[in-house]
Structure 1
Amino acid sequence: MTNLTEIETAVLVVGYGPVGAAVACLLGRYGIETIIIDKAEAMSLQPRAIALDNEALRILQMAGLSDDSFPRLAIPYVKMHSPFVGQFGQVNTAGAIDGHPKLVTFAQPDLEAALRKRVDTLATVRVLTGCEATAITETEDGVVTMVRDGQGRATRIRSAYLVGADGATSFVRGVIGQNFTGQTYAEDWLIVDALDVPSPIDHIEFICDPRRPTPHMPAPVGRERWEFMLRPGETREMMESDARVAELLRPWLRPDELKIERRAVYRFHARCCEAFARGRIVLAGDAAHITPPFVGQGLVAGLRDAANLSWKLAAIVKGEALPQILTSYDTERRPHARAMIGLAKFMGGLVMPRSALQAIAAHGLMRGLRGVPMLRRFLDELGVKPQNRFRDGLFVKGRGGGLLVRGAQIPQGWVRLQTGALVRSDEALGSSFCLVGFGVDPGTMLPPDLRRLWSARGYGLVHFCHAGRPCAGPGTFEDVDGTLTPKAAPIGWAAIVRPDRVVLVDGPANTAAELVDAALNLLGDTRTHPARPEDAAVSGRGDVALA
């Protein structure tokens, strides 16, 4: 300890998996001094997570990843088969939402490599691998973390905040006294990833046979994955043998076609913490919640955490918001994470029925429900997927205009720059808060002093004009496909959008000053914009209605 090194940073991230890397990418984009540590010397090359939805791809876009940053394969539909009643379910995942495919498969090492490549470009982010947190102490003004490297050298890291993204066996979770609640499935599963499959399928299928449930899906670059539930008496050693793997894959591949990338036995979990934060220490990803794989939402949930948490930490560190806003991270994220776990458990019941009788009853019921046109549309078009909309949190409650929903993300479409280039509309919004005008320049609706204050913070002013209209002036973009105006909001409307693209408040453009006042007071910054007594209800309850 005589050679103890001490370093300081604004945020320390423990865990350099995909969620920790996404947090670091976002914090780096916001200009926050960040250190990320991981006890592993190098990135794992084992494929684990395999599915991402349009929400996850949009978050990766926010983190700075382009469409070609890692290979991905769009999935047109997901089918569910029963040996007793035939196909009883199909989810249509073709097409796009918010400028991204509804569902893709990928290889996790490819995604992690892309995230780490992005981290390497960020001047404010420092990576320390081969370093393990051994003790964490929260103080009045920060967090002190003792770190030891592979040679036994100790470092004390002082940070204003700490993010535990250190996985299902999280050390950080134990430090803040959080225990997982939920269930561990009694069944083990053999996961087999194969390379260079000669005739890969083009969709995801679930073979829901009580004798051996088997999810099966393609992945980029000729990969495929199978998941086989173990039967009573089958052991890890037995199932991971070459002979058993070849036997299980015989319906799809000849022995001479086998090129196995990975085989491993896992046990699935459905668990969630009672709180995602304590003081200056917060949890993200598998450290906070574990989702069974039946709906492909495990990593997606962690990326949602990263997007929700990172901008709030940045706003607090920059002094643009009071520390109390961090409580909204748990308020906003935990209910949705629990809802996704609930959906995964429901799907698990369909995938692995306990008996033939249960399979006939459950699968037959689902097939019958699909015979009703309205229910079929609901089931086939992802109607059962919990929407990522907040009931409570850091937004002004009330009803807005058009399709905008306060506490939910603004739709993303394609907009034209004045150079003629097309970009997704999130690129126009930038990386901070943004006052958006629909068919009107929102800056012209603000008093000069308020506009100067807004711009001095680096907050954006964006005007989306509808397709075919002359669009001139700074911050003006043509909404070429009508996603934003008039579909999302009527002409003459305005909204304030958070850095994670959630609508904080909206209203008529001529109330833009009131919208800005409501947003600043909700953030609680009193340095350059003192809260007025009459605005106490806004910052305290967040339920001002701006019609």
Structure 2
Amino acid sequence: MTASRSNNDVQVAVIGFGPSGAVAASLLGARGISTLAIDRQQGVYGKPRAIAIDHEILRLFDNLGVAERVLPHVAPFPASQHFGAQGQLIRRIDMVQEPYPLGYTPTMVFTQPPVEAALRDHAASYPGVRVELGTELIGLEQDAERVTLHLRDAAGAVRVETADYVIACDGASSGVRQQLGIALDDLVFDEPWLVVDVLVNEDALGKLPQTAAQFCDPARPTSFIIGPKNHRRWEIMLLPGEDPRVMEQPEQVWSLLARWLTPDDATLWRSASYRFHALVAHEWRKGRVFLAGDAAHQQPPFIGQGMCQGLRDVSNLAWKLEEALHGQAGNDLLDTYGEERAEHVRQLTSRIKAIGHVICERDPERARERDARILAEGGGQPRTITRQEIVPPLQRGLLALDTPAAGILFPQPWITGATGPALLDKVAGGGWRLVCRAGSAADTEELGAAAAQAGLALVRIGVGGLLERDGVLDRWFAQQEAVAAVVRPDHYVYGTAADAASLSLLLAGLRARRSVSHQT
């Protein structure tokens, strides 16, 4: 679908072309929205920073058609074992079991440089997306109709372009956020850590833990992550008095890794000191400018959700901008971006902080008490929780919150067919959808017309419709005590219905809310 044109140079400008900016540009390009993406750096940073993604993000990549280019650089994220102050196992954090709810391995590790390069190349492949690297935003102003951008290219030439909207994906030190005067709310987490990436020799891999690990040792809390192939990462807490710049030097790094490896066992790929923060922008939108990714939030890394959060941001925003550019929505819908994402980020950051405080306990006595408490929660045995339990649903915004499952991700089962199994999104497409159990109380003769009137594609699952392979949706509908679900373009459930009458009310409520948004 081609978005309606405007009098501005582009409809959307994306500032920053890291993973969030590249995916934003792809999402816009796929919708036919004319887009300018800029970044002041000329190329992809050659060393890893993010290391984890999840099934929601791989679903997004697959929807865009870039998953096949990403998958060679991705591997499953194994269970993370947490060891207490005495080195004893106190709990595990793992992924949900098969059949996987979204069709993909729920949690994965990846190598960032080639993945980021693939995301950039894909974004640039859309005819409506113009990418300019080595270009810096030096100022902006906006009025009721446009944002005016002052740009400087690599040669120092300055020019002006205009856009209907701007998405600022320009990182933790976001110049756009600063120009807009948007403050960051401090969620009170500030710890110095050293992040070390190594490429381990094949004959030394057996020396290392065979699963991810959190060493909750009060003497030196440390995380160990198994990356793709021979990539291994340590995140090591720095102690009071240690100079971060000194600690990231090779001789100090190898001293910290001596418990596991020697310099003969591996190549040091990267060592960088950071302060892990928990910060969320006080405002996510100012007029026609939106913050996304690290420009809007920073969080501790303990379950690998930093990059995922940025990609959730742009996935949430892109379809709303499309509706606004088509004249199908106004400020009410655009305001739900910050409403939904800010609350989700705050909730998840609070949960990550709680995990971080467990890991970072430095007092030996309190660490022993922590270990006893965690083991007691498992009845005296290490219990397993899933990373998917930790990520919350959306809890406000464009949702029918009085219905079960509103705000959670809609499953994606494997669908059987004459040419073999395929994931639901490939068969049924995206956009607004009404997914119904075929033959259920809600599956009436009038259902197709009612869905079309509400602007929804009808997807019928079961005998008489699409047949799923593993019963994922059957179990999901039963668990939610529902027979139909309205699903948004970002795959979050707007609301559910148990029968034809409740579905009629759900669709009427959606039509009314979208009509109000259109009028504002």
TM-score, structure 2 length as denominator?
Answer: 0.89
Distance 1:277 1:354, change over 3 A: same
**1:73 equivalent in alignment to 2:72:** no
Deviations 1:457-498 (A, max 9, x none): 7x5232222xxx4x5xxxx42122222236426999433221
Deviations 1:53-74 (A, max 9, x none): 2223223333333255232121
2:258 matched residue in structure 1: 250
2:229 matched residue in structure 1: 221
Distance 1:83 1:518, change over 3 A: closer
1:479 matched residue in structure 2: 468
Mapped contact 1:36–1:126 kept (Cα < 8 A): yes
Q: Secondary structure at the match of 2:264?
A: helix
Deviations 1:146-194 (A, max 9, x none): 1111212122221111111111001111233211121675542221111
Structure 2 residue corresponding to 1:522, chosen from 499, 513, 516 = 513
Task: Map residues 318-333 of structure 1 onto 2, 5 A cutoff.
Answer: 318-333=326-341
**Equivalent-residue separation in structure 2 for 1:463 and 1:251 (angstroms):** 56
Deviation of 1:245 after TM superposition, in Å, equals 2.1
**Equivalent-residue separation in structure 2 for 1:211 and 1:510 (angstroms):** 61
Distance 1:352 1:504, change over 3 A: closer
Deviations 1:261-287 (A, max 9, x none): 111111111111122112211111111
Mapped contact 1:30–1:431 kept (Cα < 8 A): no
1:497 matched residue in structure 2: 487
**Equivalent-residue separation in structure 2 for 1:387 and 1:237 (angstroms):** 36
Mapped contact 1:195–1:261 kept (Cα < 8 A): yes
Amino acid in the other structure paired with 2:103: G
Structure 1 residue corresponding to 2:401, chosen from 381, 397, 400 = 397
Stretch deviating more after TM superposition (185-194 or 111-120): 185-194
Deviations 1:334-382 (A, max 9, x none): 1110111112221221112122122112222212222268xx76x6244
**Equivalent-residue separation in structure 1 for 2:398 and 2:458 (angstroms):** 21
**Equivalent-residue separation in structure 2 for 1:398 and 1:47 (angstroms):** 43
Amino acid in the other structure paired with 1:141: E
Deviation of 1:116 after TM superposition, in Å, equals 1.4
Mapped contact 1:442–1:512 kept (Cα < 8 A): no
2:102 matched residue in structure 1: 98
Amino acid in the other structure paired with 2:460: H
Mapped contact 1:19–1:284 kept (Cα < 8 A): yes
Distance 1:510 1:349, change over 3 A: closer
1:536 matched residue in structure 2: none
Amino acid in the other structure paired with 2:249: S
Which segments of 5 or more consecutive residues in structure 2 lack a partner in the other structure?
1-6
1:438 matched residue in structure 2: 437
Task: Map residues 37-48 of structure 1 onto 2, 5 A cutoff.
Answer: 37-48=38-49
Task: Map residues 455-474 of structure 1 onto 2, 5 A cutoff.
Answer: 460-465=457-462, 469=463, 471=464
1:427 matched residue in structure 2: 426
**1:407 equivalent in alignment to 2:396:** no
Mapped contact 2:194–2:247 kept (Cα < 8 A): yes
2:3 matched residue in structure 1: none
2:290 matched residue in structure 1: 282
**Equivalent-residue separation in structure 2 for 1:339 and 1:149 (angstroms):** 39
Distance 1:114 1:488, change over 3 A: farther
2:4 matched residue in structure 1: none
2:137 matched residue in structure 1: 133
Amino acid in the other structure paired with 2:390: K
Q: Secondary structure at the match of 1:294?
A: coil
Mapped contact 1:268–1:293 kept (Cα < 8 A): yes
Task: Map residues 154-169 of structure 1 onto 2, 5 A cutoff.
Answer: 154-169=158-173
Amino acid in the other structure paired with 2:457: G
**Equivalent-residue separation in structure 1 for 2:105 and 2:68 (angstroms):** 11
1:144 matched residue in structure 2: 148
Structure 1 residue corresponding to 2:477, chosen from 471, 477, 488 = 488
**Equivalent-residue separation in structure 2 for 1:365 and 1:64 (angstroms):** 46
The higher relative CO (CA closer than 8 Å, separation ≥ 6) is in: 2
Structure 1 residue corresponding to 2:127, chosen from 99, 123, 129 = 123
Distance 1:149 1:325, change over 3 A: same
**1:36 equivalent in alignment to 2:37:** yes
Amino acid in the other structure paired with 1:272: V
**Equivalent-residue separation in structure 2 for 1:337 and 1:442 (angstroms):** 37
Amino acid in the other structure paired with 2:56: E
Structure 2 residue corresponding to 1:313, chosen from 310, 321, 325 = 321
Structure 2 residue corresponding to 1:176, chosen from 165, 177, 180 = 180
Deviation of 1:85 after TM superposition, in Å, equals 6.0
Which segments of 5 or more consecutive residues in structure 1 lack a partner in the other structure?
1-5, 532-538, 540-547
Distance 1:493 1:510, change over 3 A: farther
Amino acid in the other structure paired with 1:518: G
1:535 matched residue in structure 2: none
2:199 matched residue in structure 1: 195
Distance 1:159 1:398, change over 3 A: same
Distance 1:509 1:109, change over 3 A: farther
The total of aligned residue pairs comes to: 503
Stretch deviating more after TM superposition (502-511 or 285-294): 502-511
**1:111 equivalent in alignment to 2:111:** no
**Equivalent-residue separation in structure 1 for 2:377 and 2:453 (angstroms):** 56
Distance 1:382 1:517, change over 3 A: same
**1:60 equivalent in alignment to 2:61:** yes
**Equivalent-residue separation in structure 1 for 2:340 and 2:22 (angstroms):** 21
Distance 1:90 1:491, change over 3 A: closer
Distance 1:368 1:67, change over 3 A: farther
Deviation of 1:509 after TM superposition, in Å, equals 4.8
Stretch deviating more after TM superposition (30-39 or 425-434): 425-434
Q: Secondary structure at the match of 1:293?
A: coil
Structure 1 residue corresponding to 2:86, chosen from 84, 87, 91 = 84
Deviation of 1:514 after TM superposition, in Å, equals 5.7
**Equivalent-residue separation in structure 1 for 2:154 and 2:402 (angstroms):** 53
Deviation of 1:252 after TM superposition, in Å, equals 1.7
**Equivalent-residue separation in structure 2 for 1:447 and 1:233 (angstroms):** 67
Stretch deviating more after TM superposition (282-291 or 179-188): 179-188
**Equivalent-residue separation in structure 1 for 2:132 and 2:330 (angstroms):** 30
Distance 1:509 1:262, change over 3 A: same
**Equivalent-residue separation in structure 2 for 1:512 and 1:94 (angstroms):** 30
**Equivalent-residue separation in structure 2 for 1:218 and 1:430 (angstroms):** 34
1:544 matched residue in structure 2: none
Amino acid in the other structure paired with 1:266: Y
Q: Secondary structure at the match of 2:406?
A: coil
